Each structure stands twice: as C-alpha cells, then as structure tokens.
Structure 1
Amino acid sequence: MQPSGGYLPPQGQPGQPMQPMQPGQLATAAPSPAAFLEQSYVENILRANRGKIATVYMTFTGQTQEQVFVGYIIGAGRDHIALKDVNSNKTYILLQIYLDYITFDEQITYPFPT
C-alpha cells in the first residue's frame, strides 16, 4: 500500500531503536550524502577546514568599524562560527549574520566542484 499525503513511514536501521515521532510530525526521507557535498555554503566550507587558522571580519549592528577575529576553526553551523582565539584561551561563537568575509593564510579545502 502506498502512503498518501507525503507521509513516509519511519524506517530505522536493523538493530537500532527507532525514535518516537511527535504528534503531527511527518517522517521524511534523509537526503543523500551527495546532496550535502554539492551545497557550497559557508558552514560546509568552514567544516571542511576545521583546525585551520582563519581571520574572520565582522561588522556588528550599530557599529561602523569592522572587528577582526583570528583563530582556529572549531566548527560551524547554519548561523554561527566557532573559533578558538590564537592568542588566548577564549572561544568565540560568532553569528554569521554579522559576517563580512573570511581569509586564510594557507591553502583551504574546497570540497565542491569548481
């Protein structure tokens, strides 16, 4: 029987417990790994270069002067960059909404077709 209304029945891996669904939640098919490889977003580029030193230039609301952060890329998400300062023990979570641009002093990994 074919499901109707865009609903896909939950599918788990053999031997792994299935997660309970919340009321009103629709199951969706997970995108293939290849789908993520072709998405050239800032967070994906930063994740591919985790551990490298980056210089992040940002301008915050209400400010006219750009602020510069230099540090090791710890990780990145859709809305943020996690950076470990090279000169201190500080870790910054920087919101991408304020991002101007990023530079690297070394070759970066760019895992997308050029």
Structure 2
Amino acid sequence: MGQMGQAGFPQATPFPAQSGGAMPGVSLPGGAMPGAGAQVPGMLPIEASYIENILRLNKGKLATVYATFENNTEWNAKIFQGIIEAAGRDHLILSDPQTGKRVLLPMIYLDYVTFDEEIEYDYPFGGGAGLTAYPPR
C-alpha cells in the first residue's frame, strides 16, 4: 500500500513518463503503436471522427435530425428534415428543398441523425482533405 498523505488518504503514485503517447504493451494490427496520428485500417483517423466531419461528408444529402430541448414548455423534442448545407463544431445547417427555409441547429440539442441512403464515412487517410482537425477536447 502507498504512503499515507494528508488526512489519512493514500498518496497518489505518479505514472511513469512515456514518450510518443503510446500505451505500453498495446499494439495495433500490423505492429503499429497507438498514439498521435496512428491509423487503424478501416477506421476513421482519431482527429476526424467527430460528428461534424461525418455530417460534412454527407453535405447535400437529405437527413432527418432528432433533437431534444430540455425544459422547453412548448415542445421537448423536435424532428427536423432537410438537406445538409453545412456542419461546424457546434452547429448544423439544414435547408428545406421545397420552401428554401434554413434551420441553424446547435449540436448540443442533436440526439441522432438518420439518412434514407448510404452514409459517406470513409476518409482519405492523408489527413482528411478539406476537413478541419481540431485539437483533442
């Protein structure tokens, strides 16, 4: 058992420093080590697997977006249907093809999205051309 620290709680033991961000004893298929920039065949790059990037890949497709608005006295949940115009880190823009009306929906309210066709999900592994890679949160 570790040494006792202040107020009788065990004192934290620091983890040993590691280089390259790899996890000891963990390797990926082909002998690759996980860490910054590691790619797993058939999976999205870690930096590009955010919902906004997946929605950007499907720009121009008809989507049904399910959203929940807590503490709303008029409606708690709402369904939006439209063409994906744009997607950012914190928002989604849909347009109704019949009326031209556009909806700016904050991502915080988004529950899930459905499509009536196949979803684009394969990124080029060369860094996700045209996609924004944000630092980890």
TM bucket, shorter chain: 0.5 to 0.7
Structure 1 runs of 4+ off > 3 angstroms? none
Can you give the 5+ residue segments of structure 1 that lack an aligned partner in the other structure? 1-31
SS of alignment partner, residue 56 of structure 2: helix
1:106 corresponds in structure 2 to 117
2:103 corresponds in structure 1 to 92
- In the TM superposition, 1:1-114 aligns within 5 A as 38=45, 39-63=48-72, 65-112=76-123
CA distance in 2, matches of 1:65, 1:86: 25
**1:87–1:60 CA distance, 2 compared to 1 (3 A):** farther
CA distance in 2, matches of 1:86, 1:44: 22
Structure 1 stretch 68-77 or stretch 78-87: which is displaced more? 78-87
CA distance in 2, matches of 1:86, 1:104: 15
Alpha-carbon shift at residue 100 of structure 1 (Å) = 0.7
Alpha-carbon shift at residue 61 of structure 1 (Å) = 2.9
- The structure with the largest alpha-carbon Rg is 2
- TM-score normalized with structure 2 length: 0.52
Alpha carbons 1:69, 1:85 under 8 Å: kept: no
Aligned residues: 79
Can you give the 5+ residue segments of structure 2 that lack an aligned partner in the other structure? 1-36, 125-137
Please state which structure has a larger fraction of its residues in strand: 1
Percent sequence identity over aligned pairs: 52
SS of alignment partner, residue 67 of structure 1: strand
CA distance in 2, matches of 1:58, 1:88: 21
Query: Any idea what the Cα deviations from partners look like across 1:33-89, whole Å, max 9, x if unmatched?
Result: x9xx61211100000000000000001131363100000000100000010023422
Alpha carbons 2:94, 2:102 under 8 Å: kept: yes
Alpha carbons 1:70, 1:86 under 8 Å: kept: no
Letter in 1 for 2:49: S
